[in-house]
Structure 1
Amino acid sequence: MKIKIESSRIIKPFYEHTPPSTTSHIPLSVFDKVTYEAQIAIIYAYHPPTPPNIAIELGLRKALVVYREWGGRLGEDEHGNRVILLNDEGVRFVEASASSTLDQAMPFKPSPSLLSLHPSLKDVKELVQVQLTRFTCGSLVVGFTAHHTVADGHSTSNFLVAWGQACRGLKVNPLPLHDRSIFTPRNSPLFEYQHKGVEYMSKSKKEHSLNEVHHISEDVVVHKVHFTVQFLANLKAKASSMNGNNKPYSTFESLLAHLWRVITKARGLSGFESTQIRISVNGRTRLNPKVPNEYFGNLVLWAFPTTKVKELLREPLPHATKLIHDAIAKVNNNYFRSFIDFANTKAKEEDLVPTADMNKYILCPNIEVDSWLRFPFYDLDFGTGCPYMFMPSYFPTEGMMFLIPSFVGDGSIDVFVPLFEDKLPLFKKICYSLDLLED
């Protein structure tokens, strides 16, 4: 798949009336400061007919009027605090062409070739980048990159829907809530939970871990695995089989428990090692009072179910599922409030730094999961229909999984699993077995 860059330029918000000041800024919230400081890339594919590039560009420029943060830059205020500068310096817009039909390049499997379908993620000052790649058959692939410090997946997917609305000549609805100052500590801070060693660590420990960072290994393979609706239903029933009259576990919890066990088995870890999962938990519905879904920014903390390898593999599936369910349930309103208090006081006093780190390339014996199952990514309609395919770009971080709704559209799920190549045969052998781990 040969990709030719036709043009690359900066585009800015399109104001129909008097432009606002470009000297204002939005302070980062404690949730923005503790998340991953990295660009994330996703890829869409559209069958013809598709709108011309100029129409997609104009829609993006109109959406940037409503979501000014994306057209700004990360910087500091006069006190040295990190902020988003609302300077309208714009986003990168790249036009490209492919030398083949989309069918010849499909199905898009996780591989380094995906990196040519979106702008580079390295040393980027723009907070959003877009690449439109036209194939000889008339199909369109849209590569989109966004800086995670500005917004989480929930907010980013809302922006993408708004971009489509603007392309179709509609008013952006719902409008985003931009106020990031709503997360204030209580008058008497209350630390009900441990946050040092969870969301934060000391600088010295961070520097030590960075010294041990592995470079991207050619031995890491990103494997895409498809779970059918029927398999998921069977898995959920098995995971919930010891629940009695309690509510069944969710499909997400059940599938994640299964994958945790399969990956751990495939890795061949010592039974006495500990293994944990890092699971994103959306705070919008957990905080009391609830934060509107339109809140734009980061509002995520993490659950960390942890256990010994031998226990994870020895006990049946419901055991692992309960560990995950209970860990997620713990990240409730009290936990979020405790974090807000800690982040505004102790974290500053002790000069702590976030544990979230995109520079690690090997997570073993641990796992991290990014679930995009509830985000409306498939709703990005530029005027000729929704995409028929959506996927993350190529992220060869061993142990960092992405869960997305399958483009089949029947409720099935695709999981992108990066593993060392020599561990993949066993993973493939057991990933669809509900019983093999218990033999």
Structure 2
Amino acid sequence: MKQESSRVVKPIYEGTPPPSTPSYIPLSVFDKVTYDDHMAVIYAYRPPTPPNAALELGLRKALAVYREWAGRLGKNDDGDPAVIFLNDKGVRFVEASVDCTLDRVMPLKPSTSLLALHPSMKGVVELLQVQITRFTCGSMVVGFTANHLVADGQATSNFLVAWGQACRGLEIDPIPFHDRDIFSPRDPPRFEFQHRGAEFMTNKIKKDYASVDNIIRGDIVVHKVHFSSEFLTKLKAKASAKNGTTKSYSTFETLVAHLWRAVTKARSLGGFETTTLRISVNGRTRLNPRVPMEYFGNLVLWAFPSATAKDLIHEPLSYAAKLIHDAVSKVNNNYFKSFIDFANCKAEEEALIPTADANKSILFPNLEVHSWLRFPFYDVNFGGGCPYIFMPSYFPIEGCMFLLPSFFGDGSIDAFIPLFQENLASFKQICYSLD
């Protein structure tokens, strides 16, 4: 890998530029409870691909519409540390090359080699970073990192699509919805659900992550599993056959239920040990009135289905699918509004902190699910067509799963599952079992 250049690029405005005095946007209650870390994704494109200059120009145009990315996190005049300054300081743009064909490093597997395809995520002041890596065959890999405090997966994928539109000389459509002040508490506020222990906790157990990082992460393997559409159809039929109703479970519910059971078996959990899932739930379609899908920011809470290992393994697949379905269903309009009231009125008063912890290397005996199944990542077209590979970077966090549609476009799904090395062989034996 040879880095050709690394520079900061800033928005380019058509027409009247914004005021020169930096303004700021306070982070919303949803921004404040998410992960304070960068996330990274990898795209691969076959030739012909647009030149780097076209990608940079399109990025600068897109930043004029999504100004938050070109800003910086900081404190306002009142000392509130949770604001985004709209100061146009820019984003990191890296150009790199590799003296080989992309086929020689394909298929891109989840390993440390992926880290060279995007800028480092450590100690970054920029809220967004891009790396364009060229291969001798003409293929191009785009590595993208973004600060999760600024936007969730839905909002970030909308931006990436907009960047592609700008590169192709198109108007950005749809225009993002930027107002983060729409989440006001009710009067009087109503705390209808328990948010301590869900989104917030009273204290954090201090852990010397640095001293155990090499030991823990060195023993974790990120395993990629491809689930064909035929397998998923059989899985849904199996889950729905014994649910006692005419309603079938979704592909997401049945696949997560299957993986929850398979990982629990592979981990050899004790029968009475409890295992919990943490599942992201998009609030855009759940709040009433609905928040536009174009909302730019974070708008996610979590569902937490739990079961003992004994019940999860010995009960049929429909048992786990129902637990997931019921838990996600409860994160509804009432739940979101109760959270807004609690976060605005109680969290700061009680000095509560988020349960979301980006520094955690092990989730055992629990699991976390990041579903990218509905995000338009495959619509990111910079001018040479859509990507033929899209995947997360290397995140060796034991138990933190990513689900995304495979590049075959046939309804199949790729799952990226980090496990301890000692549990991997067992997981491989059972991950395709319908028993």
TM-score (norm 2): 0.97
> Counterpart in 2 of 1:74?
73
The separation in 1 between residues aligned to 2:191 and 2:209, in whole angstroms, is 31
The separation in 2 between residues aligned to 1:335 and 1:199, in whole angstroms, is 12
Q: Give the 5 Å matches for 1:123-202.
A: 123-202=123-202
> Counterpart in 1 of 2:364?
364
1:9 aligns with 2:10: no
> Counterpart in 1 of 2:102?
102
> Counterpart in 1 of 2:239?
239
The separation in 2 between residues aligned to 1:96 and 1:211, in whole angstroms, is 31
**Residues 381 and 212 (structure 1 numbering): CA distance in 2 closer, same or farther, change over 3 Å?**
closer
CA deviation profile, 1:253-302 (whole Å, cap 9, x unmatched): 00000000000000011111110000000000000011011110000000
> Counterpart in 2 of 1:295?
295
2:279–2:369: 8 Å Cα contact kept in structure 1? Answer: yes
Match of 1:345, SS state, is helix
1:214–1:361: 8 Å Cα contact kept in structure 2? Answer: no
Deviation (angstroms), 1:242: 2.1
1:63–1:166: 8 Å Cα contact kept in structure 2? Answer: yes
Q: Which residues of structure 2 form unaligned runs of 5+?
A: none
1:319 aligns with 2:319: yes
> Counterpart in 2 of 1:282?
282
Deviation (angstroms), 1:23: 1.1
> Counterpart in 1 of 2:433?
433
> Counterpart in 1 of 2:58?
59
Match of 1:390, SS state, is strand
1:214–1:362: 8 Å Cα contact kept in structure 2? Answer: no
1:213–1:361: 8 Å Cα contact kept in structure 2? Answer: no
1:279–1:369: 8 Å Cα contact kept in structure 2? Answer: yes
The separation in 2 between residues aligned to 1:212 and 1:167, in whole angstroms, is 41
The separation in 1 between residues aligned to 2:211 and 2:261, in whole angstroms, is 25
Q: Give the 5 Å matches for 1:323-334.
A: 323-334=323-334
TM-score (norm 1): 0.97
The separation in 1 between residues aligned to 2:391 and 2:211, in whole angstroms, is 27
> Counterpart in 2 of 1:394?
394
Q: Which residues of structure 1 form unaligned runs of 5+?
A: none
Deviation (angstroms), 1:408: 1.1
Deviation (angstroms), 1:246: 3.4
Match of 1:217, SS state, is helix
Deviation (angstroms), 1:214: 4.4
The separation in 1 between residues aligned to 2:247 and 2:290, in whole angstroms, is 23
Q: Which letter does structure 2 place at the counterpart of 1:73?
A: R
1:214–1:360: 8 Å Cα contact kept in structure 2? Answer: no
The separation in 2 between residues aligned to 1:422 and 1:155, in whole angstroms, is 37
CA deviation profile, 1:225-252 (whole Å, cap 9, x unmatched): 0000000000011111123443211000
The separation in 1 between residues aligned to 2:186 and 2:65, in whole angstroms, is 31
The separation in 1 between residues aligned to 2:285 and 2:207, in whole angstroms, is 34
2:63–2:70: 8 Å Cα contact kept in structure 1? Answer: yes
**Residues 269 and 331 (structure 1 numbering): CA distance in 2 closer, same or farther, change over 3 Å?**
same
**Residues 401 and 304 (structure 1 numbering): CA distance in 2 closer, same or farther, change over 3 Å?**
same
The separation in 1 between residues aligned to 2:44 and 2:200, in whole angstroms, is 38
**Residues 210 and 252 (structure 1 numbering): CA distance in 2 closer, same or farther, change over 3 Å?**
farther
Q: Which letter does structure 2 place at the counterpart of 1:104?
A: R
Deviation (angstroms), 1:217: 2.1
2:11–2:90: 8 Å Cα contact kept in structure 1? Answer: yes
Deviation (angstroms), 1:120: 0.2
The separation in 2 between residues aligned to 1:345 and 1:188, in whole angstroms, is 10
Deviation (angstroms), 1:422: 1.1
Deviation (angstroms), 1:384: 1.2
**Residues 176 and 225 (structure 1 numbering): CA distance in 2 closer, same or farther, change over 3 Å?**
same
The separation in 2 between residues aligned to 1:209 and 1:272, in whole angstroms, is 27
1:34 aligns with 2:33: yes
**Residues 139 and 372 (structure 1 numbering): CA distance in 2 closer, same or farther, change over 3 Å?**
same
State the identity %.
69
CA deviation profile, 1:294-348 (whole Å, cap 9, x unmatched): 1100000000001111111111110011000000000000000000000001111
Q: Which letter does structure 1 place at the counterpart of 2:79?
A: G
The count of residues paired between Structure 1 and Structure 2 equals 431
2:209–2:359: 8 Å Cα contact kept in structure 1? Answer: no
**Residues 211 and 47 (structure 1 numbering): CA distance in 2 closer, same or farther, change over 3 Å?**
closer
1:213–1:359: 8 Å Cα contact kept in structure 2? Answer: no
Q: Which letter does structure 1 place at the counterpart of 2:34?
A: T
My pick for the range that moved more, 267-276 or 242-251, is: 242-251
2:398–2:419: 8 Å Cα contact kept in structure 1? Answer: yes
The separation in 1 between residues aligned to 2:211 and 2:385, in whole angstroms, is 43
The separation in 2 between residues aligned to 1:55 and 1:403, in whole angstroms, is 31
CA deviation profile, 1:109-156 (whole Å, cap 9, x unmatched): 000000000000000000000000000101000000000000000000
